[in-house]
Amino acid sequence: MKFSLVNGQRQEAEPKLSGLCPACGCQMTAKCGRVRVHHWAHKNQGQCDPWWEKESEWHRSWKDQFPSDWQEYIQHDNTGEKHIADVKTKAGWVIEFQHSVLNLDERRSRENFYQKLIWVVDGTKRKCDIEPFKNGMVYGQSPDPLSPNKCRTFFPKGNLLKNWSECSGHVFFDFGEEHPLWWVFPGSNETYAYIQSIPREKLIQSLQDRDVADLNSFDSLISDFEIFIKRCETDPELPRIQRLKEIQIATT
């Protein structure tokens, strides 16, 4: 973890420091080696938050895009269950940065627990995931000139889309700094996935301290995406044009 309580204050790891875990109250030791990012570890390997994932540079650089008091937020529910969210924004969005592959049951239990959830998924974890994802996009060219960055793909292909398209949370694939993020809208499924590309800065800014009614807030970006989805689902011409395109691509 990035923070521990030292004399009652949240503090980052420094050599020889010890502290208490803000979630379970157990003793923690600062780990300040050369290989991994400086972090805190529980002194005794116990069960603190079973959902906690070992932090990488990738995790840390994402978390650091947000104010430190939004990071490692301890979320309780009314049954007494608690978990450490990577980030919780002022507007109530929990952001989880997912580097390792997550099984379906685990993913669903987090989605149930956190409700307003955003996943940022490390798309570079398996090199074999990027090409199938790009190929999947070819089938989803948007016929809507007003929304060139959005598309609906038919029968999502590739491991990433198959694994993540049925989420009830918003999913963002991160393929590295040189690429935009790819946003998969909740409610996508094995038949359709609604996807749009978004610059990472735009996502980060949309989640900063904004009024939800602000045109650049994340909630407004959702509304804008929903308009596109509604058009896809209600305009009988749009799916027909897309299907034609798919057939053309498949046969050329």
Which residues of this chain interact with Zn ion, rule CB under 5 A? Answer: 21, 23-24, 48
- Please, what is the minimum distance in Å from the beta carbon of residue 44 to Zn ion? 10
Please report how close the Cβ of residue 94 comes to Zn ion at its closest, in angstroms: 18
Which one, 52 or 154, has the nearer CB to Zn ion? 52
User: Cβ 110 to Zn ion, closest distance in Å?
Assistant: 18
Cβ-based nearer residue to Zn ion, 28 or 87: 28
Tokens standing for 155? Answer: 């029968």
How far apart CA 245 and CA 139 sit, in angstroms, is 7
Q: Are 140 and 149 in contact (CB under 8 A)?
A: no
* Shortest Å, Cβ 20 to Zn ion: 8
Beta carbon nearer to Zn ion, 84 or 167:
84
Rg (CA), the chain: 20
Q: Would you state the structure tokens that stand for residue 70, as one six-digit string?
A: 């939004």
Query: In whole angstroms, what separates CA 108 from the centre of its chain?
Result: 14
Nearer to Zn ion, 23 or 238 (CB): 23
Select 53 or 144, whichever has its Cβ closest to Zn ion: 53
Work out how close the CB of 24 gets to Zn ion at its nearest, in angstroms, rounded to a whole number: 3
Distance between CA atoms of 95 and 117, rounded to whole angstroms?
6
CA distances from 10 to 2, 25, 59 (A): 9, 13, 19
